[in-house]
Structure 1
Amino acid sequence: MGLKLLFLILLAAAMAEVETQSSLEGCPRKCGDLEIPYPFGVGIQPSTGVNCFLEESFNLTCDNSTSKLLYRDNLQISSISPQAGQMEILMNISKICQNRSGVGLVQHLRTDDFTVSSTQNKFVTIGCDTLSITRAQNSLRQNESYFNGCATLCEKPPPEELNDKTCTGTGCCQVDIPAGMNSINFTVSTVNFTNVSSFNNCSYAFVAKSDWFKFSVDYLDYFPHETAPIVLDWTVSNLTCRNSSISSDHCACKDNTDLVRSDDGYGYNCKCKTGFEGNPYHPDGCRDFDECNASNNCSISTQALCHNFDGGYSCSCPPGYTGDGYVNGTHCTLKASSHSNLRILIIALGIVVVLLVVFTLASTTCLVHKRRTLKQIRQRNFEQNGGNLLQQHISQQQSYAERIKIFTEIELKNATNNFDEGRILGCGGQGIVYKGILPDNTHVAIKKSRVGGDARQIKDFINEVFVLSQINHRNVVKILGCCLETEVPLLVYEFVDNGTLFDHIDPSKTGHFITWESRLRIAAETVEAILYLHSAASIPIIHRDIKSTNILLDHNDKAKVSDFGASRLVPLDETQITTVVQGTLGYLDPEYLHTGQLNEKSDVYSFGVVLVELLTGNKAVAFNRPELRNLAMYFVSSVKENCLWEILDRRLEQKKNAKQLKDVALLALRCLRVNGQERPTMKEVALELQNMIAVEMHPWVKDEAMKEEEAMKVEESEYLLGHVPNGYGDASTSISVASHDSTQKQIAFEIANGR
């Protein structure tokens, strides 16, 4: 079935190719839906001067208004066959009805160079008591004329006496057309309508294709056609090619064709040679027909082989067989010497089958073992990476379980291009962060933990997953999920695309500079996030690693706090917890460092260091500059020595922002007090920053803010006394620094595991 379908497709393609070459280049190929094959054509093309027809007798007309192809006298053409040398036209039917008497309209056809086919047509009469007469002539044979007629009688009107499908004289009669006639006239007349008028309304006469007309009794009452198809035989004039020995350049027959003389001695036709197909009149001639792709005489049932060549094909038997391969020949039979070879082949085939079965079983066993091993490895990784600990956390807080998606290793490998180094966003103490793109085109950040079997690091990682799953704040990086089936655990969270805060305040990265107004807003947003962790979360959270590199900025420079690997949950009934000291050098609360007692004021101290970074543009720790090794101590010391304005970032337009710079410096000093009880709460820090921004945005708020500031001056004067550089304010804004015991206790500190 499949081979047959393929053959039909190839045959249709070949036929389409032939059709595209049926007319001359530059000539109309169709009129409406009807092909116009050469030697026929529609006139001479005015644009190119190409004569589209071979002889004048082949010159046709295309009625563009009706899309009909017309022969002379406006006879519509329904088909043309170059291979058969025939053309089919439509001719009117002669008709007379009972309300009229006499003779019907005479129909006349004159074809000149073409003849009415005597083998394909019949002269037909339909009716009762009807007489029709036809006259046929051959103008090329001294106007030979032939008369013929046909009479029908219906003496008994009952329809059952009239048989369908037969036309033998009762209700219908037909006669042959003489051969070689190129002119024909015919008409129909009635003898007596009186006796048959009850069932025979009209009578008809016409010339039509033999296989087109089949008589029906219903035609006596009503005949549904006004025209009938007539087949014309056409030939090429002898003047074009007088005999077959003339060169093909002077003959209508082209390559791979035979010339066929007309039976009546006038003109000739061309046909493709055996084994060729196409239009024998077209300049390209006939092309070879591949018999091997069609029905042929090769014995397929005996494995015979078909070989195509120009004009024919041959059959043969495959190696090891004898015979000619033809259906009607000796077929193909296996040679006697081939039986032993066949036996060897069968044995070899059996061995191959056995080996194939063994290989399949071994492969299946290996595949099952590999899958079992991978499953065991994934389960082991899940346990080593803290999966049980995470499940324990989630079971205690079921409401947060649906916020975390468990990704597969394949998903995250595809998202990061197999963790390509070009996708690395940054490295920290907890791991490496890659940029990933999920199948739905969501951009994410994927943290690959540095866990290597260290129970403490695993606990930190799982802690970060659990802590982030409970946080839903616009200024906190949102977790999307994790993957624990890999050798090292992976954490997936939202992608923040504008780098870290430190990238934007570092003087060495001038392309990322942000203004003081933006810095103040970012500080306020960061405080909002930390305050949410301390008071609004279902269980209070101490971040424990607030620093400028853990504050990310999005495309609108909005702050998002990240990296919760060191964070701790604080039970509601406890104000502080004792834990192993963990943090980052330069940001670590000295009181927490000495006592191991962790509370919310530890985050306040770290944020105070971030405020100093925003004011000065310097790193929290700089080993290459001894005086700036610890920025917090350097800041407090500089203010004490009345050098505040000398250490501020020169890019911050100090004259314009002097008031806010001084206020933020005061706030930073309060956050950096060594004694945690003397530091403000994060809520107080948030209110002060909001007031600063509100005063700047709404000047009418300044009076109330100044009153609150005066109330605080008594306390602040114990710490801050000094002056503003010339041009940066009046006497009311002068500050100074007095000694304080707590500042003397400030110490340089380092953390072995600081990030």
Structure 2
Amino acid sequence: MSTCNGISPKNGSCSGAGCCQMNLPRGVRNHQGYFNPLYNTTDRKWRATPCNYIGVIANEAFNFSTTYLSSTAFYNATVGSEKTIVMEWAITRNTCQEAIVDKNTPYACVSNHSHCITNDAGYACKCSIGYEGNPYIVNGCTDIDECLDNVTYPCAGICKNTLGSFTCSCPRGKSMKIGVCVKDHMPIWIVPVVGTSLLLLALCLGGPFIMRKIKLQKVKKMKQKFFIQNRGLLFQQLISHNSDIGERMIITLRELEKATNNFDRARVVGGGGHGDVFKGILDLHVVAIKKSKIVVQREIDEFINEVAVLSQVNHRNVVKLLGCCLETEVPLLVYEFISNGTLYNHLHVDGSISLLWVDRIRIALEVARALSYLHSAASMPIFHRDIKSSNILLDDSLTSKVSDFGASRYIPIDQTGVTTVVQGTLGYLDPMYHYTELLTRKKPSIYRSNDGDNLVSHFEKMLATSNLFDIIDPQVMKEEDGDLQEVATLAAKCTKLRGEDRPTMREVEMELENLVVKKKLVPSITTPGRNDKDEDQVQYMSVQPATNESSKQYTTEEEILLSASYPR
């Protein structure tokens, strides 16, 4: 309840005797006004205006004047004239959302092109912009023809009415400038010419970018195709079922391209008939990346299983397989990099000085240990099938590393045969392969004695007749200390024709170990008695390239400084 108790009225302030003004808050639904009967309006001072008035009027439309108390000015200014009265009304007390779903009360906004407005009292309907009329009846909202009202909707050009709106355009040869059509300064034909020029410019500038995106998408699809074709999913499954295989076993092609400067030919450090070996830097480590040539698709499954098995091989005398890339047509293999060349390079040098006898015995023992491990100690027996001097790498301390498992196969423990496919290098194959002549109808011709014997046959004859000096390296004859006969006898056992007549690699390993212990042969790459000339020869021979007699080998170059790192 509001009251006005003032007794001294002022202009502009209607709050006291004779005038009482009250602001109605928004949302008020009921209001009642009345006069206090204690006020005596028959007194002489009220005789000029004996009537009482109550009204609702917009606040900005009324300004109190003290003359209203002693004259009919208020009546003349309000009742006797048109004044704005604000009366907000609504349908029911529901919001628009409630009214739409209310099944008891029909929705009032039935006209097309109308919309609902929620207010404090309920909701009301209104025609949409560009329409006028009654939104509470069907088709009550009609389109406004804006072109007929140039004052409200000014258009200095060609006006065209549309449903709910209008368009204003200029005639040909003119254009709209600040609401006015002005004549164009350039010929009409300039517009299409300029547009065409801009289009050609955009194509020239954006064409290479678009082509590059298309090329990248094509390369991405090819990688995915090769990954699936190379049984990448199978390899991932093998990894998921074997925690021993590292999560980083699968390497992306992008990483290898970065590591080898996009397989720069200057990075090639070896190769053969089956592919090239690149030197690269991966995770701040120097690695060897084997890029093989085309293989038969049916061998891919076998290749994946082979990689999975070799990834579990952990022996100091076996080159460690670090991972593989399956995003190329032929999978890429990544091995640890061995910097000092192959045993072939160190044996076949110009000059009279080659590897010392003690180093040769030690290397033979290390290779025997590696093969014994692969045959017996690995989770599944692995047969290399191409052991030769060019497939034995040497590090800076002349420690041997068996490498190149391209011809190898893993054999389940319950199977006795190796394989029906014969692979390897002539002169190093299992003697039984020679005997059965599965490769050719000719005998190996790597070596021939004066009598026409190959290397193995000639060696066995010399051993049987105690004439080893005719075939043994003269340097070995000078350096050996009574152990040559034992080593030669062991070598002869290993070249027996029938596999069951040959010792196992474990037996070879034990016999060589006994020989080393008995003779106290200390592994070392430096032996007293070598002069500077010998040292120069050894240093030179460590970087000699392999000859054409070797196949499927890793040859290396001198170690380069790591000038850049490529973190993965």
Asked whether 1:377 is paired with 2:225, we answer no
Asked whether 1:501 is paired with 2:343, we answer yes
- Is the contact between residue 579 and residue 596 of structure 1 (CA under 8 Å) also seen in structure 2? no
- Is the contact between residue 451 and residue 458 of structure 1 (CA under 8 Å) also seen in structure 2? no
- How far off is 1:621 after superposition? 5.7
Which letter does structure 2 place at the counterpart of 1:443?
V
Aligned to 2:339, the other structure's residue is in SS state coil
Instruction: Find the partner of 1:559 among 400, 406, 411.
Output: 400
- How far off is 1:586 after superposition? 0.9
Name the counterpart of 2:432. Answer: 591
- How far off is 1:672 after superposition? 1.1
Aligned to 1:475, the other structure's residue is in SS state coil
- Is the contact between residue 287 and residue 336 of structure 2 (CA under 8 Å) also seen in structure 1? yes
- Is the contact between residue 467 and residue 567 of structure 1 (CA under 8 Å) also seen in structure 2? no
Which letter does structure 2 place at the counterpart of 1:413?
E
Deviations 1:197-255 (A, max 9, x none): xxxxxxxxxxxxxxxxxxxxxxxxxxxxxxxxxxxxxxxxxxxxxxxxxxxxxxxxxxx
Task: Give the 3 Å change call, closer, same or farther, for CA 629–451 of structure 1 in structure 2.
Answer: farther
Name the counterpart of 2:292. Answer: 449
- Is the contact between residue 425 and residue 433 of structure 1 (CA under 8 Å) also seen in structure 2? yes
Q: Distance between the aligned counterparts of 1:754 and 1:430, measured in 2? A: 6
User: Percentage identity across aligned positions?
Assistant: 47
- How far off is 1:407 after superposition? 2.8
Aligned to 2:393, the other structure's residue is in SS state strand
Deviations 1:429-479 (A, max 9, x none): 4321122223x4421111110125x23664665455233201011111011
Name the counterpart of 1:76. Answer: none
| TM-score (structure 2 length as normaliser) | 0.53
Q: Distance between the aligned counterparts of 1:678 and 1:684, measured in 2? A: 12
Instruction: Find the partner of 2:318 among 447, 466, 476.
Output: 476
Equivalent residues in 2 for 1:299-310, closer than 5 Å: none
Aligned to 2:226, the other structure's residue is in SS state helix
Name the counterpart of 2:261. Answer: 417
Instruction: Find the partner of 2:462 among 638, 653, 670.
Output: 638
Which letter does structure 2 place at the counterpart of 1:442?
H
- Is the contact between residue 581 and residue 593 of structure 1 (CA under 8 Å) also seen in structure 2? no
Name the counterpart of 2:373. Answer: 532
Instruction: Find the partner of 1:570 among 398, 411, 431.
Output: 411
Instruction: Find the partner of 2:493 among 667, 670, 687.
Output: 670
Q: Distance between the aligned counterparts of 2:352 and 2:309, measured in 1? A: 35
Q: Distance between the aligned counterparts of 1:368 and 1:402, measured in 2? A: 33
Aligned to 2:314, the other structure's residue is in SS state coil
Which letter does structure 1 place at the counterpart of 2:263?
F
Equivalent residues in 2 for 1:74-473, closer than 5 Å: 340=185, 350-355=195-200, 366=211, 369-387=214-232, 390-391=235-236, 393-394=238-239, 397-402=241-246, 404-438=248-282, 440-452=283-295, 454-455=296-297, 458=300, 461-462=303-304, 464-473=306-315
- How far off is 1:486 after superposition? 2.4
Q: Distance between the aligned counterparts of 1:522 and 1:677, measured in 2? A: 25
Deviations 1:83-106 (A, max 9, x none): xxxxxxxxxxxxxxxxxxxxxxxx
Which letter does structure 2 place at the counterpart of 1:418?
N
- Is the contact between residue 464 and residue 563 of structure 1 (CA under 8 Å) also seen in structure 2? no
Task: Give the 3 Å change call, closer, same or farther, for CA 580–555 of structure 1 in structure 2.
Answer: same
Which letter does structure 1 place at the counterpart of 2:455?
L
Task: Give the 3 Å change call, closer, same or farther, for CA 407–363 of structure 1 in structure 2.
Answer: same
Q: Distance between the aligned counterparts of 2:383 and 2:351, measured in 1? A: 31
Q: Distance between the aligned counterparts of 1:690 and 1:628, measured in 2? A: 35
- How far off is 1:691 after superposition? 0.9
Report how many residues are paired.
339
Which letter does structure 2 place at the counterpart of 1:376?
K
Aligned to 1:474, the other structure's residue is in SS state coil
- Is the contact between residue 252 and residue 325 of structure 2 (CA under 8 Å) also seen in structure 1? yes
Which letter does structure 2 place at the counterpart of 1:473?
H
Task: Give the 3 Å change call, closer, same or farther, for CA 372–416 of structure 1 in structure 2.
Answer: closer
- Is the contact between residue 239 and residue 246 of structure 2 (CA under 8 Å) also seen in structure 1? no
Task: Give the 3 Å change call, closer, same or farther, for CA 392–560 of structure 1 in structure 2.
Answer: same
Ranked by relative contact order (alpha carbons within 8 Å, sequence separation 6 or more), the top structure is 2
Q: Distance between the aligned counterparts of 1:547 and 1:431, measured in 2? A: 18
Deviations 1:564-596 (A, max 9, x none): 112221212233344212222111112256679
- Is the contact between residue 358 and residue 521 of structure 2 (CA under 8 Å) also seen in structure 1? no
Q: Distance between the aligned counterparts of 1:435 and 1:754, measured in 2? A: 16
- How far off is 1:509 after superposition? 6.7
Q: Distance between the aligned counterparts of 1:519 and 1:492, measured in 2? A: 28
- Is the contact between residue 384 and residue 408 of structure 2 (CA under 8 Å) also seen in structure 1? yes
Q: Distance between the aligned counterparts of 2:186 and 2:384, measured in 1? A: 83
